[in-house]
Amino acid sequence: MISRIGLEKHGLSGVGRANWNWPAAVLVQAAIARGEGHIVEEGAFAAETGAFTGRSPNDKYIVDHPSIHDTIDWGKVNRPISREHAAGLRRKITEYMTGREVFVQDLHAGADPEYRLNVRVVTCTAWHNLFARNMFIGPERDQLSDFDPDFTVIQAPEVKADPKADGTASETFIVVDFVEKVILIGGTLYAGEIKKSIFGVLNYILPDRGVMPMHCSANIGPDGDVAVFFGLSGTGKTTLSADASRTLIGDDEHGWSPRGVFNFEGGCYAKVIDLSPKAEPEIYAASRRFGTILENTVFDPQTGIVDFADGSRTQNTRSSYPLSFIPNASATGLASHPKNIVMLTADAFGVLPPLSQLSPEQAMYHFLSGYTARVAGTERGVTEPQATFSTCFGAPFMPRHPSVYAGMLGDLMRTHGTKCWLVNTGWSGGGYGEGSRIRLAYTRAMVRAALAGKLADTEMAVDPHFGLRIPQICPDVPSDILAPRQTWNDPNAYDGKARELAKRFEANFRQFEGYVSNDVRSAAVTAAA
């Protein structure tokens, strides 16, 4: 159905043909007919994104208007672009789309009607339109005729910027205009830019409405208890939240409002390198269905069989599918206030405990830190583990100062009595190359015990390096696994590496010391001692 508020609103009245709100089956047929990808085994659609197999953080810009200038945390993450340069890029896209076929989806971002955003996505390719349809929430049919977008994404991968003329760093651009309420994407085929740009918008507008936006997955237990999982890519956020014993609210983006937790999205965008039907049965099954998009996965052209272990194109292979493809997914995307928060880190130094409990102040400290580690082989030039700190577990998507989000987290935890757990899904018995990755079965057992309240009366030991409270016993987990120092052959080597990582935490946190309370500063000293 076509909205009465058409493309003229966006200066796109000259397009050759606009295909409005096509369903998945029609979009897949169009994508195949246009040579945009292939159908693989059991019906999923496989697409390649060329040179860009991930986001382009150095090519993301916010239009610098006087009315919003002082509300943005400008820097390496939030880069300004002038209104004049943004207008020039918009003219380029408008001229490119003139006379061309485009695809349009009118969608919601946010399951809670009180806080949702109306989003229009205009693309030059059918499969990117299907991606948007998978990832956002579809309105009811009777809502489409009067649909008025709050924000519009206009994506044209073939349009490239001229850095000298357009004020960009390269030919790629993701430009967010909070005043004109438009997002321009050009020079990249990577579909994730569509969803993450809207996530950035929600991260900007919702705090003023008393909602904490979160880069997290979330689920609900049999007794109605809600858990949220923070974590950077590769830490297990999607895997651990897709638990058959719990109802999945969503795998990536949520809000915590005065009414509770709600999903921003209507789909999942799972990382699927080494995807296993045994370890991740729900994601594996969803990734083989018609309507799913597989990004940059390798498949046999004769049989269509996908090799999820093949990372020759990228380690960042992805699967986009509607949330309804997960059997135990929430139908509403709405839930009550979280009982537990799980912060995930993949510590490649092998020194953080696999499970520890945090006070609200320590939770704010680790939330601001957003620690994980990159390992050799995952990025060019990385030859040994490197500590990575991405504040709020999602720095690229946070337009406001990190202290805004951390302050909301602390207040909400205290108000609702929410517990917080730090879970290391990385290495044990030594760092990367010496120790071994903590078994997923153990991590699942620790998370399940924490969420079920089975650790409430367990004796806790305080880690001398990080000030963390470590359970001494956990069901279905060997006791020596819980104490990382005991897993190393050389305890002195463990102490040295732990002190090294603690100093990295301390050095990183100095940037926040002027923005947090004395209690958080004290917790930071304790945690980084």
* Rounded mean pLDDT, 395-406: 96
Q: What is the pLDDT of residue 279?
A: 85
- Kindly state whether residues 514 and 385 are assigned to the same domain: yes
pLDDT above 70: residue 375: no
> Token pair 């059997």 is at which residue?
327
Within a domain: 331: no
Band (376; pLDDT cuts 50, 70, 90)? very low
pTM over 0.75: yes
Number of H helices, E strands in the chain: 15, 30
Residues 317, 384, single domain; the answer is no
Q: 369 catalytic, yes or no?
A: no
Q: Are 495 and 485 in contact (CB under 8 A)?
A: yes
Together in a domain, 219 and 204: no
List 196, 271, 337, 497, catalytic entry: 196
* 502 and 362 assigned to the same domain: yes
* Same domain flag for 120 and 70: yes
Average pLDDT over residues 391-414: 96
Which structural domain, as residue segments, surrounds residue 304? Answer: 269-325
The one catalytic residue in 10, 49, 55, 251 is 55
- Per-residue model confidence (pLDDT) at position 384: 60
- Residue 70 vs residues 73, 178, 215, 381, 405: alpha-carbon distances, Å: 8, 13, 24, 37, 17
363, 229: one domain: yes
Active-site residue, from 38, 73, 83, 233: 233
Residues 6+ apart with CB under 8 A from 63: 80, 81, 82, 83, 86, 175, 176, 177, 178, 179, 180
Among residues 343, 344, 369, the alpha carbon closest in space to that of 438 is found at 344
Contact 150, 130 (CB under 8 A): no
Of 85, 120, 195, 237, which residue is the catalytic one?
Answer: 237
Averaged confidence pLDDT in the chain: 93
238 band by pLDDT with thresholds 50, 70 and 90: confident
For residue 351, what pLDDT is reported?
96
Q: Answer yes or no: do 241 and 369 share one domain.
A: yes
Is there a domain that residue 286 lies in?
yes
- Torsion sign, CA atoms 361, 363, 366, 370: negative
Tell me: do 197 and 218 sit in the same domain: no
Q: What CATH number is associated with residue 299?
A: 2.170.8.10
Q: How many CB atoms lie within 10 A of CB 295?
A: 28
Q: Does an H or E element contain 343, and which?
A: strand 338-345
Q: Rounded CA gap, 148 and 118, in Å?
A: 7
Q: Are 350 and 427 in contact (CB under 8 A)?
A: yes
Domain contains 248: yes
Task: Indicate if 233 belongs to the active site.
Answer: yes
419 is catalytic: no
Q: Are 296 and 353 in the same domain?
A: no
In the residue annotation, 55 being an active-site residue is answered as: yes
pLDDT in tens, 51-105: 999 999 999 999 999 999 999 999 999 999 999 999 999 999 999 999 999 999 9
**330 in catalytic set:** no
Q: With a cut of 50, say whether residue 378 has pLDDT above it.
A: no
Place of tokens 């809000």: 255
What is the rounded CA–CA span in Å between residue 410 and residue 397?
20
| Over residues 518-522, mean pLDDT | 77
Number of neighbours of residue 113 by Cβ within 10 angstroms: 9
Whether 48 is covered by a domain: the verdict is no
Residues facing residue 17 across a β-bridge = 101
Q: Is residue 41 part of a domain?
A: no
Distance spanning both ends of the chain, measured CA to CA: 60
Nearest residue to 68 (alpha-carbon basis) of 208, 211, 225, 235: 208
Residue 248 sits in a domain whose CATH number is: 3.90.228.20
Q: Has residue 224 got a pLDDT over 70?
A: yes
Provide the angle, in degrees to the nearest 10, between the axes of the packed helices 360-369 and 518-527: 70
Distances (CA, A) of 276 to 105, 271, 289, 303: 32, 12, 15, 19
Q: What is the chain's Cα-based Rg?
A: 23
User: Is residue 521 flagged as an active site residue?
Assistant: no
**Strand runs labelled E in 221-337:** 226-230, 247-250, 253-257, 260-263, 267-271, 293-295, 298-299, 306-307, 318-322, 334-335
Rounded Cα–Cα distance for residues 4 and 379 (Å): 47
**Which is higher by pLDDT, 280 or 448?**
448
- Cβ–Cβ < 8 Å for 195, 396: no
Binned at pLDDT 50, 70 and 90, residue 529 comes out as very low
Read off the pLDDT of residues 261-316 as tens digits, 9 standing for 90 and up.
Answer: 999 999 999 999 999 999 889 999 999 999 999 999 999 999 999 999 999 999 89
Residue 342: left if φ>0, alpha if ψ -120 to 50, beta else—which one?
Answer: beta
Q: Check if 196 is active-site.
A: yes
Please enumerate in sequence order all residues whose Cβ is within 8 A of that of 411, keeping only pairs 6 or more positions apart, or say none.
none
CA gap 344, 358 in Å, rounded: 13
Given strand 101-109, what is the order of strands in its sheet?
Answer: 17-20, 101-109, 117-123, 151-156, 182-186, 173-177, 60-63, 79-81
Identify whether 55 is part of a domain: no
Q: Is 330 inside any structural domain? A: no
Pick the last residue of a domain from 174, 209, 244: 209
pLDDT at 526: 54
Per-residue pLDDT, 381: 44
CATH number of the domain that residue 189 is part of:
3.40.449.10
Of the residues 59, 166, 252, 347, which is catalytic?
A: 252
Active site residue 320: no
Sheet strands side by side (includes 293-295): 38-39, 45-47, 293-295, 318-322, 267-271
The answer as to whether 44 is a domain residue is: no
How far is C-alpha 163 from the chain's CA centre?
29
> Of the listed 90, 120, 215, 419, which one is catalytic?
215
* Active-site option among 49, 238, 317, 443: 238
Same domain (yes/no): 196, 217: no
Considering the domain architecture, whether residues 195 and 292 belong to the same structural domain is answered as no
User: Could you give the number of structural domains in the chain?
Assistant: 3
pLDDT tens digits along 102-153 = 999 999 999 999 999 999 999 999 999 999 999 999 999 989 999 999 999 9
Q: Choose the final residue of a domain: 209, 226, 244.
A: 209
Is the per-residue pLDDT at 379 higher than 50?
no
The single-letter code of the amino acid at 292 is T
pLDDT given at position 314: 93
Question: Cβ contacts of residue 10 below 8 Å, gap of 6+?
Answer: 120, 122, 152, 154, 182
Measure the CA–CA gap between 367 and 392, rounded to whole angstroms.
5
114 plus 218 within the same structural domain: no
